[in-house]
Structure 1
Amino acid sequence: MWQEFREGDWPPLTELLRRLPVHGCVWALLLFCFLPFVIVLLVSYPLARSARRQARLRFPPHAHRRIVDPQVIRVQKARAWTALAMSLLILVVYGTAADFEEVQEQYAFRLAVTPWLLLFTAPLVITALFRMVPVTARADMRARLRPAMRLALRYFGAFTAVPLLFAVMVLFGQSMEDHWFTPLVTFPLLALVIWAFFFVLFASGTVVRTVFGTSEVHAALPALLTGVLVWELAAVNLIMGGMPPGPPLIQICALIGGPASVSAVAWWEIDRLRTRYGVTLRGRPVP
């Protein structure tokens, strides 16, 4: 079942409930004790299932990575888990309750700011890459860039629609709270906001992994963008949250170690593209 939730299409709610090995009496007890949670589940699961299906259709998770190097993927996962473990260790040893709350705020802030940083960073990196490749390859790269631009516009349209729809729902509810038909409009708007939120959430996984399918433009472009974006995020975190907790040496290592390790893995990925697949920054963009 876990593999189906991870890769396949989610089953309908009725089928999912039938699969769970829970007796009817237990369901009655759960319904009695956790009625609000059950109502949220009954409403949100179909919306999440529909949004996930549409997100996978609009942003196919396996359609944009032209070169899949298992060794690179393993190293990227190992680096990510190591960074997470080190961050938790620093928080446990040197952090305070305020630091734990700040980490949660920074995580939510990074989720909100990362797509916008990527939107402004990608044109600069792509322009620099265009200047590096031969003139004869630029026309082909320009043609490959158009689908990535459409994908980015589609994502940012959905990303922007979530707060706009929420604002419309709140304003309508406040201005029309005395009318009998207000709930008939507010609840469908709320369902639309939840659906759009799930759509952006599920689409973000593909967007982050494929960087809007920019590997179609040049196989090394996702690694280049990642290497630049991680330093921008480090600067944003430093400005918004200050230095990490701990002694000065630990603070410097925590501040620089994360983006430096990401950049090292990205540069290693570019080197493997050159040595194993013949993809160079100044040469042909794709194998």
Structure 2
Amino acid sequence: MAFGGQGPYGAGNPYGPGQPHGSGSPYGYGPGTPGGPGGGPGGYPPDGGNPYGGGPHLPPRPPVPPPYVPPPRPTLRQQFRADEWPTLRRLLHRTDLNGCYLLPLLMCCTPLLLLVLAYPVARSARRQARTAFPADLHRHPYDPEVWRVQKLRAWLALAASLAILVAYGTGEDWSEVQDQFLLRVTITPWLLLLTAPVVILVLLRLAPDAARPGMRSRLRPPVRMVFWYVGSFTLVPLLFAGVMLLSETYQGRIWAPFLTMVLLAPVLWMLCFVGFGSATVVRTAFGTSAVHAALPALLTGVLVWELAAVNLVATGMPPGPPLVQVLAVFCGPLSVTGVAWWEIERLRTRHGVRLRA
């Protein structure tokens, strides 16, 4: 109702005289008034108090979250060292190989073409090998100082072997290095399979009667890994023999070479599976640290002498004078045995692990 053409609070202003239009508050301050009590923005006091007086304080304003910064993109080296290799598409994208240049390059370079075709097979075999033989089966309890000493000993042994070859080696000795490496890679898992049961039986005899049931129950995962490894290792020559038999059966056909390539894919997959599994098996000794913390060190100390004997029988004495030959044969196993016993001593003094417990 208007009185003389004006509102009840003043001419043209429903909030009373002296109040600006659109102040947003009938009390003269509030969210729309910049000069309210306390001088805060929107009329609120800067300390978060109640502008109307009394009552609880208003909750403080939530802080503004920082802007999202995406993590840095891992390099190809980091991806290859991780548990999951990049896919072939991502690998080619990261190497900046365009399809217009890649296809002619693959047609001209047969080894590169075979490598590109074999990469997905190796990637799949590595993923399955990491599932069957987990790479995180470190020795428990994990001692980083022991790990550093082991790596230092390995590098020193490699440097000493190269120094002996450079000083006294001949062309024949250099050609035998590759044969020795392949011999060690091939025979080490089998020696481990033969040695581990003997060492485990000795530990079971040394352990008290109350601890033996628990040790036997913890043997199941290592035994499962042993069956996986032996089965896959045995399948490699069987699959290869089957491929050769089928190739001879269909020899002379036009599509025979393509059939051979397709049939060789399972052989390559199983070979990669065994190769990636062997790296974990040799390093972790089939995860036997779950049975007894000192078991990997004991296996290493016994296995190194067996390898030295096999290497001596297969390749003979190393080059050099008699004193250098004796040192080259015995210093390596002695250093490994010393590090293994030092590890056992640290387990006893730092973690209370005893061979009879």
Return the TM-score normalized by structure 1: 0.93
Kindly report which structure 2 residues correspond to 1:197-216, keeping only aligned pairs within 5 A, or say none: 197-216=271-290
Return closer, same or farther for 1:32/1:181 CA change in 2, 3 Å cut-off.
closer
Structure 2 partner of 1:254 = 328
Q: 2:163 aligns with which of 64, 73, 89?
A: 89
Unaligned runs of 5+ in 2: 1-75
What is the rounded CA distance, in whole Å, between the counterparts of 1:64 and 1:254 in structure 2? 30
Match of 2:218, SS?
helix
Return closer, same or farther for 1:89/1:29 CA change in 2, 3 Å cut-off.
farther
Deviation at 1:188, TM superposition (A): 2.6
Return closer, same or farther for 1:29/1:257 CA change in 2, 3 Å cut-off.
farther
Deviation at 1:168, TM superposition (A): 1.7
Structure 2 partner of 1:237 = 311
Deviation at 1:77, TM superposition (A): 0.6
Q: 2:110 aligns with which of 36, 42, 63?
A: 36
Matched letter for residue 163 of structure 2: L
Matched, 1:19 2:94: yes
Matched letter for residue 80 of structure 1: A
Number of residues of Structure 1 aligned to a counterpart in Structure 2: 282
Q: 8 Å contact 1:95–1:246 — kept in the other structure?
A: yes
Matched, 1:124 2:198: yes
Deviation at 1:181, TM superposition (A): 6.1
Matched letter for residue 141 of structure 1: M
Match of 2:219, SS?
helix
Matched, 1:5 2:80: yes
Greater per-residue helix proportion? 1
Counting aligned pairs with the same residue, the percent is 57
Return the TM-score normalized by structure 2: 0.75
Deviation at 1:113, TM superposition (A): 1.0
What is the rounded CA distance, in whole Å, between the counterparts of 1:30 and 1:275 in structure 2? 61
Matched, 1:79 2:149: no
Q: Larger deviation: 2-11 or 218-227?
A: 2-11
Kindly report which structure 2 residues correspond to 1:209-228, keeping only aligned pairs within 5 A, or say none: 209-228=283-302
Structure 2 partner of 1:105 = 179
Matched, 1:62 2:136: yes
Q: 8 Å contact 1:227–1:262 — kept in the other structure?
A: yes
Deviation at 1:180, TM superposition (A): 5.8
What is the rounded CA distance, in whole Å, between the counterparts of 2:261 and 2:95 in structure 1? 30
Q: Larger deviation: 201-210 or 17-26?
A: 17-26
What is the rounded CA distance, in whole Å, between the counterparts of 1:40 and 1:31 in structure 2? 9
Return closer, same or farther for 1:63/1:235 CA change in 2, 3 Å cut-off.
closer
Deviation at 1:31, TM superposition (A): 4.0
Matched letter for residue 208 of structure 1: V
Matched letter for residue 194 of structure 1: L
Deviation at 1:178, TM superposition (A): 3.8
What is the rounded CA distance, in whole Å, between the counterparts of 2:340 and 2:139 in structure 1? 15
Structure 2 partner of 1:161 = 235
Matched, 1:188 2:262: yes
The structure with the largest alpha-carbon Rg is 2
